[in-house]
């Protein structure tokens, strides 16, 4: 009678060991399937955005900042009501866009100095907490399309009246055209739908302002 009992003990122990082995195998399989290695090989896409989105936001913030500096010059350099109104329109549109884009950068933990930090040494003392008039910090080594140089900004500030109006409109048209080029690149290779929506809004809004400025120059 002892033999069958011995066999029963062995069979029971063997079954228990098999259950443990299978459970361990399943745990390993589950762990492997949740590994980030699969997603890490799919390209630079984090929280629904890619490197192009980050570059666009970083560059467009600086680009908008210069447009606002140019617009802030207007009331003290001309009495042209149309130019003053257009400059106010540009400030009203681009100020909130800067805030929105900066918020996204902060949320994505990529980091970007605020408009008032890291630029006061090259300030020149004009607008946007002393932002550099020329080529603001960019995420790429090449200049941003449409950005004015320090010399161009100084030349603009030296003008007044109709001479200022003509130079300001000419420069702002070029500046807007550069922004449209940057926005088109975002639409072509960006990932985040919210960032791309901002890019499309920039194209639509600034194309309309370019048409307005060209008409003003023709008068």
Q: What is the CATH number of the domain that holds 76?
A: 1.20.1260.10
The domain tally of the chain equals: 2
Please tell me whether residues 35 and 107 are part of one structural domain. Answer: no
Residue 164 half-sphere exposure toward CB, CA atoms < 13 A: 21
pLDDT of residue 29: 38
- What confidence tens digit (pLDDT) does each residue in 77-126 have? 999 999 999 999 999 999 999 999 999 988 886 544 454 433 332 233 44
Same domain, 105 and 6: no
Shared domain for 148 and 165, answered yes or no, is yes
Q: Which domain holds residue 151?
A: 45-218
Quick: pLDDT tens for 36-69.
Answer: 333 333 334 356 899 999 999 999 999 999 999 9
Per-residue pLDDT of 117-169, as tens digits, reads: 333 322 334 444 444 444 344 455 568 999 999 999 999 999 999 999 999 99
Within this chain, do residues 174 and 194 fall inside the same structural domain, yes or no?
yes
pLDDT for the residue numbered 141: 53
Residues 54 and 36 in one domain: no
Contacts of 62 (CB under 8 A, 6+ apart): 136, 137, 138, 144, 147
Are 125 and 193 in a shared domain?
yes
Same domain, 11 and 102: no
């Amino acid at each position: 009678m002892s033999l069958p009992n011995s066999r029963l003990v062995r069979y029971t122990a063997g079954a228990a060991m098999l259950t443990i082995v299978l459970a361990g195998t399943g745990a390993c399989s589950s762990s492997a399937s949740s590994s980030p290695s699969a997603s890490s090989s799919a390209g630079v896409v984090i929280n629904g955005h890619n490197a192009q989105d980050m570059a666009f936001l970083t560059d467009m913030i600086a680009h908008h900042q210069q447009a606002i500096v140019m617009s802030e010059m207007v009331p003290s350099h001309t009495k042209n009501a149309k130019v003053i109104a257009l400059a106010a329109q540009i400030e009203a549109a681009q100020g909130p866009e800067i805030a929105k884009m900066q918020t996204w950068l902060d949320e994505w933990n990529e980091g970007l100095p605020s408009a008032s930090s890291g630029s006061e040494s090259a300030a020149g003392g004009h607008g946007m907490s002393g932002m550099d008039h020329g080529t603001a910090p960019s995420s790429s080594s090449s200049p941003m399309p449409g950005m004015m140089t320090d010399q161009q900004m100084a030349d603009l500030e030296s003008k007044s009246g109709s001479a200022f109006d003509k130079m300001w409109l000419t420069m702002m048209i070029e500046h807007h055209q550069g922004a449209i080029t940057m926005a088109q690149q975002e639409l072509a290779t960006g990932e985040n739908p919210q960032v791309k929506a901002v890019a499309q809004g920039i194209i639509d809004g600034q194309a309309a302002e370019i048409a307005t400025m060209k008409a003003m120059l023709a008068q």
